[in-house]
Structure 1
Amino acid sequence: MGTGYARRYFETIERIIGHDLLHRLLETFSALPSASTDKALKAAILNHPEFGPIARNIIKLWYTATWFQLPPTWRENFGALHEDRTFVPYPYAYTESLLGPAVGAHPAGAKPTGHQSWTLPPVFLPIPPECE
Structure 2
Amino acid sequence: MIINKIFNVDDYYYDVFMAISESLTGFSVNELQSTGLAEIYYKHILGQIEAVTFTEFLNVSKTALENSYTQDQLNNAISADILSNPATQEIAQSVITLWYLGTWEGAYVNDLSYKEGLVWNVMHAHPPGAKQPGFKSWSVKPVNSNS
Q: TM-score, normalised by structure 1?
A: 0.69
Residue in 1 aligned with 2:39?
7
Q: Distance in 2 between matches of 1:42 and 1:108?
A: 34
Q: CA deviation at 1:92?
A: 2.3
Residue in 2 aligned with 1:34?
68
SS at match of 2:53: helix
Residue in 2 aligned with 1:98?
118
Q: CA deviation at 1:31?
A: 0.5
- Please give the root-mean-square deviation of Cα atoms over the aligned residues, in Å: 2.1
> Residue by residue, what CA displacement relative to the aligned partner does 1:33-92 show, whole Å, maximum 9, x if unpaired?
232332221110012112111111111101111112xxxxxxxxxxxxxxxxx3112122
* Match for residue 107 of structure 2 among 87, 90, 93: 87
Residue in 2 aligned with 1:18?
50
Unpaired runs of 5+ in structure 2?
1-32, 143-147
Q: CA deviation at 1:108?
A: 2.8
Q: CA deviation at 1:112?
A: 3.6
Q: Distance in 2 between matches of 1:37 and 1:19?
A: 25
Given that residues 99 and 107 in structure 1 are in contact (C-alpha distance below 8 angstroms), is that contact kept between their aligned partners in structure 2?
A: no
- Count how many residue pairs are aligned between Structure 1 and Structure 2: 103
SS at match of 2:107: coil
When you count helix as a share of all residues, which structure comes out higher? 2
Moved over 4 A (4+): none
Q: Distance in 2 between matches of 1:41 and 1:7?
A: 23
* Match for residue 86 of structure 2 among 40, 43, 49: 49
Q: Distance in 1 between matches of 2:39 and 2:74?
A: 27
2:36 corresponds to which letter in structure 1? Answer: G
Q: TM-score, normalised by structure 2?
A: 0.62
